[in-house]
Amino acid sequence: MTQGRVEDFLRPGVRVHLMGIGGVSMEPLAEVLLLRGVQVSGSDMRDGPALQSLRERGAPIYIGHAAGNVAGAQAVVRTAAVHDDNPEIVAARSQGIPVFERAQAWGAIMRDYPNALCVAGTHGKTTTTSMCTHIALAAQADPTVMIGGTLPLLGKGYRVGGGGTIIAEACEYCDSFLSFCPTVAVVLNIEEDHLDYFKDLADIQKSFRAFAALVPQEGGVVVANGEDANTVAALAGLERRIVTFGLETGDVTARGLTWEKGLPAFQVVYRGEPYCSVALRVPGVHNVKNALAACAAAIALGWSGEAAARGLGEFGGAGRRFERLGTCNGAQVYDDYAHHPGEIRALLEAVRGLGYQRVVCAFQPHTYTRTKALFGDFAEALKLADLAVLTDIYAARETDDLGVSSAQLAQAVPGGLYCPTLADLAETLRREARPGDLILLVGAGDINTVGKALTEG
């Protein structure tokens, strides 16, 4: 059966059913489609304020998945979390209703924007996309935005604008970013990850190269980390305009980098000429690199250095990215989404200069495949903390059949502690916390919920 093109269904009067409509990128998709005059319906496993807002705009929304929810729909859009055996998918296919992936819908929408800035990379996507959003707003570009996390400036993870620019976080998992239509494609870095889908590093590099090749040969720009060997190898010989960034080498670099109370200040230089001067409110060399990438994208889009400096100077971090939650027994408690060894290493190195007496890293590994494949790297990264506390692996989409555990990881880290449940973790951290400590709740699962127990207990 030929299901047609997704763009044929994103038109006024067409009924489109969104599965997982309350999700971080599905909610803004619903908003954009409603503004286009599309008749939107949706389903989700949990209710909430976002769904109520969509109901008030005329979208019928069902809690739970059932075959009857797709009745009358002309197309269905799903998230990656929705599998083929879902009753709504089964019903749609039995009735000849085409089923599309979320990324396909976003890709179709991007075609209507003269400027589509898509930010990809193993690490730093959410932060860099957020930085780009700050710059775009300072440049009065009135962008539409889709971020994989909450940006305090927006109060949510998306924005529906009226300008000619769309800014989107682009995830490589399941090659979803290959459905996007970037005019500016950012590649921050490439490392081994998502090895439940990709075969190896070479397979990941092939995917990122295909992503970069999506930009048009005429007028398109690839922004790439010129100091990341995996990125350079992946893009070698690509016949596109490439603007590189790096701390010391590349088209966009940092000059005169200094640190004040752990926070960086530097001049951004583009091909030898000053572009802007930046004082960041977020720590770490990795955030200097993220800012350079954002500036390179801003240059590609013709935004001024003044807008870049103002936007970056006002950026205080994205939700769950070194986000302060409060205090516990005099210790400062922060939450961070880091779930890859490289991200954990960058986080722990970044907080070294902030003046804490002791750094306590509480880590919840995310998925069994990632933990097993990168076990040694996780152990080495966690050794950078003064105390590492491990809680059980967050399974996400997986089942425990690989013979790997957080208890094993705790044993691989000198002095590491193991707490099987989040309740055990909260109790241990409360017992350990003391003035002068920085407690980091680290992971992409639900470890952040421990923050409330610590800071309100």
pLDDT band at 397 (very low <50, low <70, confident <90, very high): confident
Residues 103-124, mean pLDDT to the nearest whole number: 96
* Residue range(s) in the chain whose domain bears CATH number 3.90.190.20: 323-456
Catalytic residue among 31, 79, 88, 125: 125
Domain covering 323-456 assigned CATH 3.90.76.10 in the classification: no
Q: What's the confidence (pLDDT) of residue 4?
A: 84
Q: What's the confidence (pLDDT) of residue 37?
A: 95
Instruction: Please provide the size of the chain in residues.
Output: 457
Least confident stretch, 158-162, 330-334, 367-371, 415-419: 158-162
Residues 418-437, mean pLDDT to the nearest whole number: 97
pLDDT band at 268 (very low <50, low <70, confident <90, very high): very high
Q: What's the confidence (pLDDT) of residue 2?
A: 47
Per the model's pLDDT, the better-predicted residue between 388 and 319 turns out to be 388
Q: What's the confidence (pLDDT) of residue 320?
A: 83
* Residue range(s) in the chain whose domain bears CATH number 3.40.50.720: 6-102
Over the Cα atoms of the chain, what is R_g? Answer: 22
For the chain, helix (H) and strand (E) counts, in that order, are 15, 21
Least confident stretch, 79-93, 113-127, 246-260, 414-428: 79-93
Catalytic residue among 27, 31, 88, 169: 169
Share of the chain above pLDDT 70, in %: 99
Q: What's the confidence (pLDDT) of residue 240?
A: 97
Residues 90-104, mean pLDDT to the nearest whole number: 96
Q: What's the confidence (pLDDT) of residue 319?
A: 84
What is the side-by-side order of every strand in the sheet holding 221-225? 156-159, 144-151, 165-169, 115-120, 184-187, 221-225, 241-246, 252-260, 263-270, 273-279
- Our CA dihedral for 42, 44, 49, 54, rounded to 10 degrees, sits at 0
Just give the CATH number of 113-313: 3.40.1190.10
pLDDT band at 457 (very low <50, low <70, confident <90, very high): low
Distance CA 268, CA 274 (A): 6
Per-residue model confidence as pLDDT tens digits over 210-231: 999 999 999 999 999 999 999 9
Q: What's the confidence (pLDDT) of residue 1?
A: 43
Q: What is the mean pLDDT of the chain?
A: 95
Asked if 125 is an active-site residue, the reply is yes
Just give the CATH number of 6-102: 3.40.50.720
Supply 457's token pair. 């207990």
Q: What's the confidence (pLDDT) of residue 164?
A: 96
Q: What's the confidence (pLDDT) of residue 207?
A: 98
Residues linked to residue 63 through DSSP beta bridges, in sequence order: 44
Asked if 183 is an active-site residue, the reply is no
Residues linked to residue 391 through DSSP beta bridges, in sequence order: 419
Q: Which parts of 218-321 are beta strand (E)?
A: 221-225, 241-246, 252-260, 263-270, 273-279
Asked if 169 is an active-site residue, the reply is yes
Per the model's pLDDT, the better-predicted residue between 353 and 137 turns out to be 137
329 and 456 Cβ atoms separated by less than 8 Å = no
Q: What's the confidence (pLDDT) of residue 446?
A: 93
Per-residue model confidence as pLDDT tens digits over 41-78: 999 998 988 899 899 999 999 999 999 999 999 999 99
Is pLDDT above 60 for 15?
yes
Distance CA 422, CA 428 (A): 10
Residues 193-214, mean pLDDT to the nearest whole number: 96
3-state secondary structure at position 454: helix
* Residue range(s) in the chain whose domain bears CATH number 3.40.1190.10: 113-313
Distance CA 443, CA 388 (A): 13
Catalytic residue among 122, 126, 133, 183: 126
CA 76 to chain centre: 24
Distance CA 228, CA 189 (A): 6
Share of the chain above pLDDT 90, in %: 86
Is pLDDT above 50 for 86?
yes
